[in-house]
Amino acid sequence: MRIPHIRTLLSLLGTAAAMLAVIAAKTPGHKLPMKPPAYPAEKYAQGTGSDAATVVVGPPIPITHGIVQVRITVAGGHITNVIATSLPHDNDVSWTRSEAAAAILDREVMAAQSAHVHAVSGATYTSKAYMASLQAAIDAAGIAKT
């Protein structure tokens, strides 16, 4: 008569141990690399003479929902254009947030002429990855730090 009780007890203990293991398991977080990956920024000339500019594409920065990559155009030591060429788009929500964040970041970068801008609320990981790719592009372009 005692064997059914032992089986029940062992079953409950096994279930409890499995639940604890699942709860204690660490899931991968939304971590950004400490520095951009080893992909170099791509740099090429555009135009000639007084219309000469340099276009630099920052490295792709992977985040949980996709890749963020930024391209800048530089003329006369100033950023004349900035655009995110790749944004997370694994679902409609991440795409919408990333697209809105990139538009805000584009404007702020143009005003600040640097990667020292605030992250966009609700798109923190996209913002940080955007700034990492942007900073690599700025470094490759040789723009003086302000």
Q: Assess if residue 11 is contained within a domain.
A: no
Q: Assess if residue 17 is contained within a domain.
A: no
Rounded Cα gap, residues 146 and 132, in angstroms = 17
CATH number for 69: 3.90.1010.20
The parent domain of residue 72 ranges over 42-141
Place of tokens 């005003």: 111
Q: Assess if residue 2 is contained within a domain.
A: no
Q: Collapse the DSSP code of 35 into the 3-class scheme (helix H, G, I; strand E, B; otherwise coil) and give the result.
A: coil
Q: Assess if residue 129 is contained within a domain.
A: yes
Q: Structural domain tally of the chain?
A: 1
Q: Assess if residue 32 is contained within a domain.
A: no
**Could you tell me which residues come within 8 angstroms of residue 30 by beta carbon, excluding any fewer than 6 positions away?**
63, 64, 125
Q: Say if strands 66-75 and 61-63 run parallel, antiparallel, or are unpaired.
A: antiparallel
Q: What pLDDT is recorded for position 34?
A: 44
pLDDT tens digits along 87-130? 987 777 777 888 999 999 999 999 999 999 999 988 899 999 99
Q: How large a percentage of the chain has pLDDT more than 90? A: 45
pLDDT tens digits along 58-72? 999 999 888 999 999
Q: Assess if residue 112 is contained within a domain.
A: yes
Q: Assess if residue 121 is contained within a domain.
A: yes
Q: What is the pTM of this model?
A: 0.70
Q: Assess if residue 115 is contained within a domain.
A: yes
